[in-house]
Structure 1
Amino acid sequence: MIAQLGEEMVFVEVKTRRGVVFGTPEQSVTAAKFQRLIATAQDYLQKNSLEQAPRRADMISISLGDQGKLLRLEHLENEV
């Protein structure tokens, strides 16, 4: 997801997990996924002439229970 907050461009990785068998949503962001997010951000900034814009990479972590009930929603700024 790409958002703009004032002059700052915010690139957001959203991860959802149901249960804890496969770990937390945060644990699923691998180095390869991080590199893809950075490459996508750089491409977007270049194509839109925003190379000088302030930027950050955030993560939204969503944990659901077995029935799909929201257990935790966390917005982690500058965490990716």
Structure 2
Amino acid sequence: MAEKDELGRAGEARAALHLTDSGYRVLVRNWRCAQGELDIIAARGGHLAVVEVKTRRSMAFGHPFEAVDRRKRRRLWKLAQAWIAENPEAARGLVVRIDVIGIIGADPATGTLEHLEDIA
């Protein structure tokens, strides 16, 4: 399990760097509440992006985006609302959206990265 956690942390670090390089301001990483966890919350322009990061070593278990099904999207929306309730000033005037970053490769630092914006 530790290896999987390490892979996930490395993927989230790569995703945060990608977002920063793309002009986003990362507001928080690994935000937790009683209902669950959000990987990254970032802002750019008039948007607040709640970013789910999925990292895979290969496509053996499918594309990372396949793991973000309707149920997972609903959960992300609920968690986003909980974060906004705790941080209303940070979200004021921003349009909230759900993004997914998928990383595929043996090393998340050099694997293929795809970023889907506004999936839900």
TM-score, normalised with respect to structure 2 = 0.56
Kept after mapping to 1: 8 A contact 2:46/2:93: no
Identity %: 37
Stretches (4+) displaced over 6 A: none
Give RMSD over aligned pairs.
Answer: 2.0
Identify which of 28, 42, 57 aligns with 1:18.
57
Partner of 1:54: 95
Q: Give aligned pairs, total.
A: 78
Partner of 1:38: 77
List runs of 5+ in structure 1 lacking aligned partners.
none
Whole-angstrom CA distance in 2 between matches of 1:13 and 1:72 = 16
Structure having the larger proportion of residues in strand: 1
The one-character-per-residue Cα deviations of 1:25-80 (angstroms, maximum 9, x if unpaired) are 01111222212211111111122223653111111110114xx3744111111125
Whole-angstrom CA distance in 2 between matches of 1:28 and 1:22 = 10
Q: Which has the higher contact order (CA 8 A, sep 6+)?
A: 1
Tell me: CA distance 1:61–1:13, structure 2 relative to 1, closer, same or farther (3 Å). same
Structure having the larger proportion of residues in helix: 2
The alpha carbon displacement at 1:8 in A equals 1.9
TM-score, normalised with respect to structure 1 = 0.79
